[in-house]
Amino acid sequence: MSYPAPRYHGDKGEVNASFRTADTPPDLTSPRGDTYRYLATQESTGGEYGLYQVDLAARAAGAKTHFHKAMSEAFYVLSGELELFNGDKWVTGRTGDFLYVPPGGLHAFKNVTDEPMSMLMLFAPGAPREEFFERVAEMSQRGSEELKEFRVRHDSYFEDDFPTGPA
């Protein structure tokens, strides 16, 4: 394996880093109390990746089994415990555990404990996941066809959207 082709062609480096302090308030708080911090978005990374800190409340439902066609997704548990479906079985992720899911890989997650938990979620390449996080609860209440269109627009294919299996 080799390094990718250079994308920066200057002879000197630039001052272009971004910094976010730990005390920056969450970008989104769900009605259940789950919080989302948009650490690096598709926009801020030029589409390279998206990185989010997600803090789930106790007994948070998380996401049902799904897959992505255009991006990988990775989970890194910062604190607490998270049940992760790796496409084959449910495993318990604890502080420091990591799950990588390539494009097409079935996965799901949920917090089944009575304690909150915190994780990093990484999507590569980056995608506009912010709208998905912000509207998924609302869209889930609207109905199956509108929800399915919303999910597909956000590269999220759920088993219940394809009762006979994905194409």
CATH of the domain at 61: 2.60.120.10
Residue 161: which pLDDT band, with cuts at 50, 70 and 90?
low
Task: List the domain range (segments joined by +) for residue 93.
Answer: 28-159
Q: Tell me whether residue 78 is in a domain.
A: yes
Residue 163: which pLDDT band, with cuts at 50, 70 and 90?
low
79-111 pLDDT, tens digit each: 999 999 999 999 999 999 999 999 999 999 999
Q: Tell me whether residue 148 is in a domain.
A: yes
- Using the predicted structure, report yes or no on whether residue 56 has a pLDDT greater than 70: yes
For the chain, what is the domain count?
Answer: 1
Q: Tell me whether residue 9 is in a domain.
A: no
Q: Tell me whether residue 3 is in a domain.
A: no
Please tell me the predicted confidence (pLDDT) of residue 141. Answer: 83
Listed in order, strand segments (DSSP E) in 28-150 are 28-29, 35-40, 50-56, 63-67, 72-79, 81-85, 90-94, 98-101, 107-110, 117-124
Q: Tell me whether residue 64 is in a domain.
A: yes
Please tell me the predicted confidence (pLDDT) of residue 162. Answer: 59
